[in-house]
């Protein structure tokens, strides 16, 4: 379990400069045959990741949660903070469950992405349901940007949005 209640997390710089494949503000991961739940609560916290937030870096993640293919468990992410990320294939919130279990993402905060193929909320499950509930503001700037992308191979997908989704360049508000 990860909980933040205020303050800032800032991770800037191109991840390839440090030999890493990505920058992470908060990252949790179950590898192998692990079982258990991942719960992340970001309450009134500002998280910024990327290459100077100009959109030229690669793969930055404000919040990342993952369960591997042989794992079992649910992912629950709740955000009321201000998240900003920049770089190609970057994510404000990324939840991946390749094992069995559900994903729930609730966003009440402000999400901003800058960069090609960047996602504000990305949630994908292999054998579980996906629920995304957004009442916050989402702004994506970059070619093929996504506001909300939710999918499941063998489960139900529900997306509820009462917030504003603003696409600066081409992309999909909800996919």
- The pTM (predicted TM-score) of the whole model is 0.91
Query: For residues 68 and 62, what is the distance between their CA atoms, to the nearest angstrom?
Result: 20
Q: Which of 31-35, 93-97, 127-131, 160-164 is predicted with the least confidence, judged by mean pLDDT?
A: 31-35
3-state secondary structure of 175: coil
**What does the pLDDT read at residue 20?**
54
Q: Which residues pair with 35 in a beta bridge?
A: 72
Strand order in the sheet with 137-141: 8-12, 46-50, 82-86, 110-114, 137-141, 165-167
Quickly state the pLDDT bin for 33 (edges 50, 70, 90). Answer: confident
3-state secondary structure of 164: coil
Ranges assigned E (strand) in 69-117: 75-79, 82-86, 91-100, 103-107, 110-114
How confident is the model over 12-41, as a mean pLDDT? 76
């Amino acid at each position: 379990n990860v909980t933040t209640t205020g303050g800032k997390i800032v991770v800037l710089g191109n991840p390839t400069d440090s030999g890493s494949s990505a920058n992470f503000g908060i990252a949790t991961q179950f590898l192998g045959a692990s079982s258990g739940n991942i719960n992340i609560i970001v309450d009134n916290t500002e998280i910024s990741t990327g290459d100077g937030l100009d959109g030229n870096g690669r793969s930055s993640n404000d919040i990342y949660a993952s369960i591997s293919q042989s794992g079992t468990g649910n992912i629950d992410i709740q955000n009321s903070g201000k998240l900003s990320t920049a770089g190609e294939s970057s994510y404000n919130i990324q939840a991946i469950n390749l094992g069995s279990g559900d994903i729930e993402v609730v966003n009440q905060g402000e999400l901003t992405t800058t960069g090609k193929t960047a996602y504000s909320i990305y949630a994908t499950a292999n054998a579980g349901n996906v629920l995304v509930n957004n009442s916050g503001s989402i702004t994506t700037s970059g070619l093929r940007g996504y506001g909300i992308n939710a999918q499941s191979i063998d489960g139900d997908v529900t997306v509820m949005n009462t917030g504003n989704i603003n696409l600066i360049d081409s992309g999909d508000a909800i996919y």
